[in-house]
Homo-oligomer: A and B are copies of this chain.
């Protein structure tokens, strides 16, 4: 699969909806694995890294489900194309900085994505729409078992899978869900929720992982510890918490709809209006407006089939996507113009929220 095809075919999670899709955008599970007897990528010599890459690449490309995969050594992708993969959550920011000796492989649906020679020899991820952590684990487990039939993993009976960073030791698993929590933000309860989740040993992060800001009211909740519990136990615990956060968000939405209907209409009406009529839109503002549009869809202000459009736009208005669209490097100012233009064009046929004529929108999904 070539890059233009990858770009043309949005990832499954962008076009399909999953359980609790009004609040959970994606579920991800990634496994870190290393080959027995080989130095971790950060410590290994160039030739060893290349040998690991060649070996693993052919194993992964040969797995069932990886027919017509997008598979590239990172030296063969320019900075903007690598950044597109980051924006789609297919590779990490750290991996995008790598070149010779590292590779990225993903299936055409972009539900499976494998990084070779990131921090570990293998980082394998499954990403699915909605709340599907167990399903994502099952999907990546198949890849993991497939690889293990051909190679020997670095594994210790006491410590489990050995990883470059001790925080991944044991299961080597990081499971996470991306939650859209606009009502908890609007009603100023989000800090409380984040603190509570942190207290019980889970981590809350922004849109692009560690150290990133919570843009578009999107929050990633993931397990912190990888040791001492089975994968299934970790995910079950994570899912219980996520279901509670979903409940909090639903309650906050209902409460806002009852107590502050004008605030909701104002925020959603403005988002609709500005997205349709602005000519200069920074990334942060645009993401936050799309968040309000998504909330509007959930609350019945807009038809629900618009949700995937919103999720796709969240990707398409990001810097690297814009520059691919423009087929050249763009200044920040040029990006702000193109971003506004794309949003105006793609949202041209979005029906008015019907709130300016005083009509009552549907009661929403609660």
Assess whether A356 is in contact with B274, with CB atoms less than 8 Å apart. Answer: no
Check if A276 is an interface residue, CB within 8 A of chain B.
yes
The answer, yes or no, to whether A277 is at the interface (CB within 8 Å) is yes
Query: For residue A262, which residues in chain B have a CB less than 8 angstroms away from its CB?
Result: 279-280, 337
1/0 per position for A326-366, CB-CB distance to B under 8 A? 00000000000100100010001000010111000000000
Alpha-carbon distance between A273 and B353 when the two chains are bound, in angstroms? 13
**Contact code string A261-276 (vs B, CB < 8 Å = 1, else 0):** 0110110011011101
A277–B266 CA distance with the chains assembled, in angstroms: 7
- Please tell me the number of chain A residues within 8 Å of chain B, measured between CB atoms: 22
Does A97 sit at the interface, judged by CB under 8 A?
A: no
Chain B residues near A357 (CB-CB < 8 A): 348
A109 to B115, CA, bound (A): 77
Q: A344-B356, A348-B356 are in contact. Are A269 and B265 (CB under 8 A)?
A: no
A165 within 8 A of partner (CB) = no
Which residue, of A280, A340, A344, has the highest number of chain B Cβ atoms within 10 A?
A280
Question: Contact: A277 with B353, CB < 8 Å?
Answer: yes
B263 with A355: CB separation less than 8 A: no
| Contact partners of A269 in chain B: CB under 8 A | 277-279
Closest chain-B Cβ to A119's Cβ sits at a distance in Å of 42
A178 vs chain B, min Cβ distance (A): 28
Given contacts A276-B356, A277-B355, A279-B355, 10 further A-B contacts (CB under 8 A): A262-B280, A266-B279, A266-B280, A269-B277, A270-B278, A272-B277, A273-B276, A273-B278, A274-B274, A348-B357
